Amino acid sequence: AQTATAAGPHDEPTVIAHRGASAYAPENTLAAVDLADRMGFAWVENDVHRTKDGELVVVHDDSLARTTNVEQVFPGRSPWKVKDFTAAEIAALDAGSWFGPQFTGARVPTLKQYVNRVEHNRQKLLLEIKKPEIYPGIEKDTLRVLREEGWLNRHHVKHKLVIQSFGADSVETVHEQRPDVRTGFLGTPPVADLPKYAEFTDQINPTHTSLTADYVAAVHKLKGAHGKRLQVNTWTVNTAAAAARVDGFGVDGIITNNPDIVRDAVGR
Ligand code: G3P
Ligand code: CA
């Protein structure tokens, strides 16, 4: 369905559950994926880091301290960086009780576990490669896991997967290694630089706080790396007022911890 706003008639934006339904379940856990599914949201966003022994895991921060009980389990290993722990050590951590006692026992999922749950739920994934500068080669690792788990076939590539990063080099690397995979750049490049980004990305995904209708219009004038209109997915939009504002700009997607609130605000 379309609506007419200052940006002219446009489709309802896609609502993307940020770190899963993270206002209601611990971020980046399978519980947050499942809750987004039960709430009716097809798209989930996640964050990928790499362990000491080369496993990709889904967690937001480069330290495990905020969202797990790592400080109690491994008290001597400050600052508890993901890259300094093995996958087995991380798998033993509780990633749910910080959020609420009902989530005790939730784990930090591996990327493999995560994509398999998203697939099981028939959901779609906006995958963020986090801090690529501290994980050389993480793009190749990410693509390998996705390929092994069946996420790089034509159907998934066309309909179910976008890979994004704040690192322009990382996004470009993904595009070079798998030109068929859709990508997003996290940030707000100057309008004059947008054509350069459009060569390797399909989405410009800026914070909503400084977003303007003019900026969205400037992005929309361009075609992305796969020849379709360059898209804008903005984050992290958690209130009805903010959602209505960016919807008025004609954004393509809204990344939110509160997908229910955003859906109510932008539903046609
Ligand atoms: O998907 C956009 C958003 O996740 C980027 O910021 O810090 O929440 O990963 P952050
Ligand atoms: Ca993210």
What integer pLDDT is reported at residue 5 of this predicted model? Answer: 60
Residue with the nearest Cα to atom 10 of ligand 1?
60
CA angle 20/70/37 to nearest 5° reads 15
How crowded is residue 14: how many other Cβ atoms within 10 Å of its Cβ? 18
From the list 90, 108, 91, the residue with the least C-alpha distance to 99 is 108
Is the Cα dihedral 198, 147, 123, 46 positive or negative?
Answer: negative
d(CA 252, CA 264): 16
Closest ligand relative to 166 C-alpha: 1
What integer pLDDT is reported at residue 216 of this predicted model? Answer: 98
d(CA 200, CA 32): 30
Residue with the nearest Cα to atom 3 of ligand 1?
235
Q: Any idea which residue has 């993270």 for tokens? A: 22
Specify the 3-state DSSP secondary structure of 11. Answer: strand
**How deeply is 166 buried, as exposed, middle or buried, from its count of CB atoms within 10 A (0-12, 13-18, 19+)?**
middle
Could you list the mean pLDDT of each consecutive 10-residue stretch along the chain, which spans 268 residues? 63 97 98 98 98 98 98 98 98 98 98 98 98 98 98 98 98 98 98 98 97 98 98 98 98 98 95
Binding site membership of 255 for ligand 1 (Cβ less than 6 Å)? yes
Q: Provide ipTM, 2 decimals.
A: 0.99
CA 235 to ligand 1 centroid distance, Å: 7
d(CA 5, CA 250): 8
What integer pLDDT is reported at residue 109 of this predicted model? Answer: 98
Q: Any idea which residue has 């219009």 for tokens? A: 217
Maximum Cα–Cα distance for the chain, whole Å? 58
By annotation, the residues acting in catalysis are: 18, 60
Neighbours of ion ligand 2 (CB under 5 A): 47, 128
Taken as a whole, the chain contains a residue count of 268
Domains located in the chain, CATH noted: 2-266 (3.20.20.190)
Torsion of CA 129, 120, 109, 232, to 10 degrees: 30
Strands 2-5 and 8-11: antiparallel
Closest ligand 1 atom to 164 CA: 1
Cis peptide before 79 (omega within 30 of 0): yes
Mutate to test the pocket of ligand 1, among 186, 231, 255, 258 (most ligand atoms within 8 A of CB): 186
